[in-house]
Amino acid sequence: MKTIADIMSRDVTSVSPEETIRRAAELMDDLDVGALPVTEGHRLVGMITDRDITIRATAAGLGPEETLVTEVMTEDICYCYEDQSIDEVMEDMGDIQVRRVPVVSRDDHKLVGIVAMADLVRDEAMEGRTVETLRDISSPVPPM
């Protein structure tokens, strides 16, 4: 059985909750990504996205130099373990409609990587399942 560790990106950059949103945006620009894990030491504490910066900071009139990542990041995030099956994580991604998930070690919750739809697409064995997961992620959520 293939696990997330087999396909995840191990070279993951994170940002501290005490850094400014400007620094987070600079890192996103440098890395050409739209989301960064937020860590204290090596422990995952949240995620910050370009959307968080735009909606929770810029639209609210908060400045990039004085606003800290902790003020706009998402704390309650979905993550997976490096030893989880690819199928299980893909199902979770579809259910909660996310395109990327931080990967942590099971024993100490240390950030060890990130898995994104792009990683799944590159795995030929997942070809049909990837389309199904992307369809689930992209489906409109019914109103509550």
What share of the chain in percent tops pLDDT 90?
69
**Over the chain, what is the mean pLDDT?**
88
pLDDT at 102: 97
Query: Which residue segments constitute the domains of the chain, with CATH numbers given?
Result: 4-138 (3.10.580.10)
Name the pLDDT band for 99 (thresholds 50, 70, 90): confident
| The model's pTM | 0.83
pLDDT at 38: 98
Q: Are 113 and 103 in contact (CB under 8 A)?
A: yes
Selection from 129, 41, 122 nearest residue 90 by Cα:
129
Q: How many CA atoms lie within 13 A of 129 on its CB side?
A: 15
Q: What is the pLDDT of residues 59-75, one digit of tens each?
A: 999 999 999 999 999 99
Q: Are 80 and 96 in contact (CB under 8 A)?
A: no
pLDDT at 46: 96
User: Which tokens is 83 given?
Assistant: 């030893």
Q: Where are the alpha helices (DSSP H) in the chain?
A: 21-31, 50-51, 69-72, 86-96, 117-122, 127-138
